Amino acid sequence: MIRRHTPLGKLIRNPWGVVSLAVVALYLLVAVGIEIYSVSCQSREERPFYDQATAKPFMEPCAQHLFGTDYLGRDVFSRAVAGTSTAMKVGLISGAIAAILGVFFGTIAGYFGKFWDDLVVWLYSVFASMPSLLFILGFALLISRGFLPPPMMKIVQNISTFLHVDPGMLAVYVAIGLTGWVTLSRVVRAECMKLKKMPYVEAAKIAGVGNFTIIWRHILPNLRHLVIIFFTLTFAGAVMLEVIVSYLGLGVQSAPSWGVMIADGQEKLWRGVYWEIGGATLFMFILVLALNLLGDALRDAFDPRKN
């Protein structure tokens, strides 16, 4: 039985938290299904249903095509659903990269201090001063256009094949992760400075427990709630950044993407063809809203100052 005052109990008692969690879970299930289906189609050398022209171009929304069709006659609703896979992958992978880097550097700086603290502060100050979007665009251009040395490009190609993504999209994953860890690192650093002075940590040091054992057993478990909240909010930011990068033509090339749909639909928007942009924007809006509401609910659930 879940207790009312546990973080999970608080989350369940928050109706918006439950709804947002259900929406995010639904998006994740759809993304997994689309990913399995696309890999299966690729192995059979078949075109996925969302890439097939099933009607006339620019058909208005109707019973057969809820969001109409695009300039090639493809169903917009199907492509918007398929774009969920790209959004969830970029959110999960970029968020994981940012969380790992943020926890690692923040813990090293906050626990060991001195030289390591100065080094990490200098490092995240450098990353914080860089324009994130320009860094992501430059990194994506570097990889997608094959400007890396051949051995490195081969590694990128192998990883891209394993993750079933374009090299340009892999660059977006890494670039968003590299620019997104700074905030978590600062928070973790400050929290570690407080935790390492706690009596149970001092007692472990006196007992001869090694530093890395203390970090693993006593420091990291107390940072878990910060990582969960940060990951949720970074997820939403990564989704929006991917849409921007794909809209500019430096992200997804072969897979459906909400950014690509918006870029394709803008050319005919002046003629009243609004449904392609509308469909992609609606799917993105629902996911980002659910992630932000879930982040707020998790913050309330894990905040020890709230009942």
pLDDT digit string (tens) for 54-81? Answer: 788 888 888 888 888 888 888 889 999 9
Residue 295: the pLDDT is: 84
Sort 126 into a burial class: Cβ within 10 Å, 0-12 / 13-18 / 19+. Answer: exposed
Q: Residue 283: what pLDDT?
A: 92
Enumerate the β-bridge partners of residue 74: 53
Q: Length of the chain in residues, anyone?
A: 307
Q: What is the pTM of this model?
A: 0.85
pLDDT value at residue 1:
44
Q: Take residue 176 and report the two structure tokens written for it.
A: 């968003």
Given this structure, which CATH class describes domain 7-302? mainly alpha
More confident call, 267 vs 222:
222
